[in-house]
Chain A
Amino acid sequence: MKELTFGTLIAVFEEIFGPTLFWIMVITAAVITLAYFYVLIRDRAVSWHKFLRAQLSMPFGAIAAVLFVQKMTHSGFSDIGGPIDLIILLGIAAMGAVGAAILVYTFDALFLQKPDEHTN
């Protein structure tokens, strides 16, 4: 377990979620991220209004990410056994939170509002 290369990491994630689900998730994440950058470049600024709304989704993203990983690994909150487990749990939650915020921001910017509809 000492040498953790990029290839091994990919293989690990394929193992966790199954190759199909994993690559669907990677492509979805990549498309959302690209769309996010596209929106940023198009609008030439972060819309703090949208960002604030996006923030509301963060707790939901965090919880969803944790539950998803637990479901995939036959485990639950009661299995937290030490500090490192808590760190991993918070890490997963943080990733879920950020992911949700980016998703909502992008969705908001692309489909709900036109870029010149309001100014900051």
Chain B
Amino acid sequence: MTHSLTATRRGFLSFAAGAGALVATGAGTAAAAPTPINTKARIVILGAGAAGTALANRLTRRLNGAEITIIDPRKEHWYQPGFSLIAAGLKPADYSVSQTAHWLPKNITWISERAAEIDPDGNKVTTESGKSIPYDFLVLATGLVLNYSAIEGFEMDMIGKDGIGSLYAGPDYAAKTWEAAGRYTEDGGVGIFTRPATEMKCAGAPIKHTFLIDDIARKAGTTKLDINYMAHNKGLFGVPIISEKLRMLFGQREITPHYSHVLKAVDAGKKVATFATENGDAEMPYDYLHIVPPQQAPDVIRNSALTDPGSWDGRGWATVDKHTLQHTFFDNVFAVGDIAGVPKGKTAASVKWQVPVVEEHLIAQITGSKSDASYNGYTSCPLITRVGRAMLIEFDYDNNLTPSFPGVIAPLEELWISWLMKEVALKATYNAMIRGDA
């Protein structure tokens, strides 16, 4: 009996060890990778944000011998979808901060400088220090710039003080935004939540901030609340069906929408915001003001031949085909992420769907073939409606809802599972994406 028990134990232990090894190697998860393509192509990627990094990681796996150079001065990588959570006091500032070097593949060249000039006729990029980098293929992934100077009277150091917040400015500013917003959730008063009239990254974020601050204030028992959402046009969201849903939710939550109100100036001393409206300027006093500045392409693109100064009111987005993301005039140039001049899609979720499209078309050019990969404008936004609930809205260029889990996760329903996705699953998915794994 003793003997047989020992034998069983040994068998059991070896089974356990085997199972452990299986888990450790992650067996069954690695998909067979296609054979790398041999090439000497020089590929320059401008920008090591979500799009640039994801693409660099994917290209190094697909190409053998390619000279890939990524140009970006920023040492920190920011997980921008986390800013909404930081600005509501739900996560600390470092939640969104990691190191650029951590995500980049080892076998590429990272030039930690700003690109100063692009010469698409001469196929070269010049950096700030005057370094000239020739390329065969150029990918624009610079992201966009926040044009705070367009708001009269505003200075960056106002964020977090005197009832002014602006979560877009970065992780530390998002945390400072919570300092101001948090005080407002306790003291109450007039809350004004703005958005710019330009294209912007994550058009849902200003709305999420409105809902979150409203919810936190109500749960804290603050009653003197007068919350106002300032829409830049006659809708609350670019997709009509979502705009209608938001109108209803605002109604239920007693959030007052103001249409065609674009923030123009702020007087932090008097706590008065000035809006450009259809009937001239309108002044509104506030206790808390959330500012989302106008957004545009960085100068290096805005002043280059890669944009059409006559389109987008001169904001300088790269002129690309909205389905292939290939430049309209320069075949060897692509744009991915916020910088792409496409009607929708300045979100990390869009990046996830754009990057494989650029990858396929770029590789097709290298191999002299054609690719039918196409980006349909997919954008996703877990639109938080309160702490604990969100709507998982997904849509395309044609304003169609494109739910990933039809019949299971309803897009226009406020659900806990959608909140769980935003709060816990999104960052992991994002990280997998920038590693090139998803």
Contact = CB atoms under 8 A, between A and B. Distances in A.
A5 B437 contact: yes
B424 A12 contact: yes
Contacts of A72: 424
B438 A8 contact: yes
A81 B249 CA distance: 14
Given A6-B26, A6-B28, A34-B16, A82 B415 contact: yes
B95 to A, nearest CB: 10
A37 interface: yes
A81 B419 CA distance: 11
Contact of B29 (A6, A38, A73): A6
Contacts of A41: 8-9, 12
A14 B388 CA distance: 20
Given A7-B29, A42-B5, A75 B387 contact: yes
A38 B15 CA distance: 11
Given A41-B8, A79-B388, A84-B417, A5 B438 contact: yes
Contacts of B423: 73-74
A76 B437 CA distance: 33
A7 B438 CA distance: 10
Interface stretch (B197-205, B260-268, B403-411): B403-411
A36 to B, nearest CB: 11
Interface in B30-78: none
A108 B30 CA distance: 40
Interface stretch (B119-127, B166-174, B282-290, B428-436): B428-436
A89 B416 CA distance: 10
Interface in A1-40: 1-3, 5-8, 11-12, 14-16, 30, 34, 37-38
B425 A1 contact: yes
A109 to B, nearest CB: 15
Contacts of B9: 38, 41
B80 interface: no
A85 B26 CA distance: 30
A74 B388 contact: yes
A12 B416 contact: no
A6 B23 CA distance: 10
Q: Which of A16, A42, A73 has the most CB of B within 10 A?
A: A73
A12 B437 CA distance: 14
A86 to B, nearest CB: 9
A42 B5 CA distance: 7
B41 to A, nearest CB: 28
Contacts of B16: 34
Given A2-B404, A16-B424, A75-B388, A11 B432 contact: yes
Interface in B369-420: 380, 386-389, 404-405, 408-410, 413-417, 419-420
A120 interface: no
Contact of A8 (B8, B404, B405, B437): B437
Q: Which of B90, B417, B427 has the most CB of A within 10 A?
A: B417
Contact of B432 (A2, A7, A88, A89): A7
A110 interface: no
Given A1-B425, A15-B427, A75 B416 contact: yes
A37 B15 CA distance: 11
Contacts of A15: 424-425, 427-428
B429 A1 contact: yes
A45 B301 CA distance: 72
Contacts of B415: 81-82, 84-85
Contacts of A74: 90, 387-388, 423
A19 B387 CA distance: 24
A119 interface: no
A38 B9 CA distance: 8
B421 interface: yes
Nearest to B407: A84
Given A6-B29, A84-B408, A73 B429 contact: no
Nearest to B413: A82
Contacts of B432: 5, 7-8, 11
Contacts of B404: 1-2
A76 B388 contact: yes
B26 A7 contact: yes
Tell which of A14, A41, A78, A85 has the most Cβ of chain B within 10 Å: A85
Interface string B264-278: 000000000000000
A9 to B, nearest CB: 8
Contacts of B12: 37-38, 41
> Which 4 pairs between the two chains have the least Cβ-Cβ distance?
A79-B388, A75-B388, A11-B428, A85-B416
12 contacts: A1-B421, A2-B404, A6-B29, A8-B432, A16-B424, A38-B12, A74-B90, A74-B387, A75-B419, A81-B414, A81-B416, A84-B417
